[in-house]
Structure 1
Amino acid sequence: MLQVSYIRDNRELVLERLAVKNFKQPELVDEIIQLDDTRRSTQTKLDNTSAEANAAAKQIGELMRTGKKDEAESIKAKTGTWKEDIKQYNEQLTGVEAALYEKLVLLPNLPHSSVPKGLTPEDNEVVLEKGDKPALPDGALPHWELAAKYKLIDFELGVKVTGAGFPVYTGKGAKLQRALINFFIDEAEKAGYSEVGVPLMVNEASGFGTSQLPDKEGQMYFVNEDNFYLIPTAEVPITNLYRDVILKGEDLPIKNCGHTPCFRREAGSYGAHVRGLNRLHQFDKVEIVQVAHPDSSYEILEQMSAHVQGLLQKLGLPYRVLRLCGGDMGFGSALTYDMETWSAAQQRWLEVSSVSNFETFQSNRLKLRFRNAEGKTQLAHTLNGSALALPRIVATLLENNQTEKGIKVPEALVPYTKFGWID
């Protein structure tokens, strides 16, 4: 959530940056400023009236002590009006603060100055591309056919148990999945992240704190009886560990990682590009999260991007890094890098990670602060990234490493899988 003071002091810049994000309600900016004007004037009236009432109360007490009862009674007669005014101003202030809040939560985060303009994924900027795209043998298969051939994943059994988008991993497919999770966690710990195990359901306050709510409400599974949401990413519970917390400045950055299943309705997704592991309702992911000092958050974002790239390099996967354009960014992000791997059998790029800096957008909602060098509280910056999401990693590993005698497992995973081939 943006800070009202920043919106007031930087109206033109806010409108300019919202335009980069293709925000369709720029009039909200002026409405927010007008509501804040009303809030300020109402607060001033309340403060002045309360001060008058308090001064009068002291004066009445002094007059009563000195025997000037008639004069005290005369002043006391006015206190009823002050009490009524104070009650009215309090009611007005509560109403205008609620209206201001409702407008504020509709504004997305402002994109960083480096974010390119654009409306669709085609407008994203390719930052770099690394690795050689493999030349597959004749008769190479897409991952869903490889999964069936080697009995790694049973999509139909998942449909039977739950529905489409809930695959069942079997045999070496299940072992490969577990190996990747352990590999990603171990690599994160080597990079200084502390592993946490978190709940798979969160309350509304948690969803709001990391800006999934109200923006992505329709994409989250909801448990009506308990008012809980199944998590779309471990970012939500991990970041919310620090809701309403004041941290020590010297403890920053705080680095956590965690593995969880993730649940997404993916409403409206259809077509050939959602086949197999390309788009699921339930999938596993290792998430990295940092709470950082504002002065270092963009340096940390680059470090997180490098960490994800290092994982892809160790797995031997060709990849590219994209800087997302304004129209393709998330609601709460100030800058996002997407990492995509090359699917050799499908002949297209598949997104496997997003790494984002939210600056103070989440921390303002979370009331996540730290004490700076002057001892004053200040909003921290929050960052997170997939390191990595498993389904499309599994898809590209299977497709890119297929040979006439089977599927070769990357060397980095062999200590975890305990096998070097899937045949």
Structure 2
Amino acid sequence: MADSNFIDYVKIYCRSGKGGRGSTHFRREKYIPKGGPDGGDGGDGGHVILRANRNLWTLLHLRYQRHILAGHGEGGTGRLSSGKKGETKIIEVPMGTVAYDAETGEYLCDVTEDGQEVILLKGGKGGRGNNHFKTPTNQAPRYAQPGEPYEERRVILELKVLADVGLVGFPNAGKSTLLSVVSAAKPKIANYPFTTLEPKIGIVSYRDYKSFVMADIPGIIEGASEGKGLGLRFLRHIERNSLLLFLIAADADDIHHEYRVLLNELAQYNPELLDKRRVLAISKSDMLDEELMEALEADLPEIPHIFISSITGYNITALKDLLWRELNADGEYQKSFNITHRNLDIKSVEFDEEDEVVIPEDDDIEEDWDEEDDDFDPDFYYGEDTEDEK
């Protein structure tokens, strides 16, 4: 993973900002000897926010920015002046990114639409100044509220590629060749296993200026759901596909058997994948004559299927028509990338030593207080009832 420009797992440390402390200042001006409390509120701490960005396709940029620290809120001052709010940190990620707790694997949130924002960690609320606690019986309150503390956690970000159609098949089934023919994508193509080492995305142009997104998922092998080959690393990308296009070569020993093996690997990884619409394409059909096609037809699974050849262009247009019909089978097509997220199995995620993150030393800001703040009561916490609130 370290040498690739496509990074779909990163571990980062996030910390929101703590709230600023309220002030216990008193108004003191010439001819106003007893001006009363005028301590301002502390500023709120900054949030840590996850934001989806359609222009990003990888988490590579976060390998070099693994400590995300929001700003602390500043303390309030006299004359009812509130402290400045802490800077909010926004983590830009590709659409389809999921966040997990790095210690427990607990699912936290995900973002699937461009511009969608989710607060990953909330900043602490600023404390109220002593002006809020003035009562008829206590005209000069000498206490204020402390700001709420910050939140922190190590987070694993996992990218699950968003695509309308996901290509599923064994290595050398012709997935990369098909993607290069139906879109402008230029994946690496060669006649050896695992030519594709990372998902490739292509925009497939259709009639009347319509289009859909197709993803070439690295080849699955039997046992992929148990971590063999590139299995666990890329099976998760299939979870986001609206339609699965199974691609099996015409020269396979048993097309029906290969289809069942692929289906079983998906079921073992996530049973929800069996609920997705499926289409079967028999690739490399330029090697077949009509008699052989008819013979194979009798043994094909009972799902929409088609014989194609990416080299000669045979039935490529018909394949697009079939895919579009299936994408619109329930009426006008609407993208739906929602899935039921399970907690992450931490043991199945492999990181290099350099990917480990440490908690940085506290970088608390220096805060200037009035001398009256020496009487601040640290046991008075935010939200406690006071006489003037009753």
Does TM, normalized by the shorter one, top 0.5? no
If each structure's helix is expressed as a fraction of its own residues, which one has the higher value? 1
Tell which structure's C-alpha radius of gyration is larger. Answer: 2
Query: Larger relative CO (CA 8 A, sep 6+): 1 or 2?
Result: 1
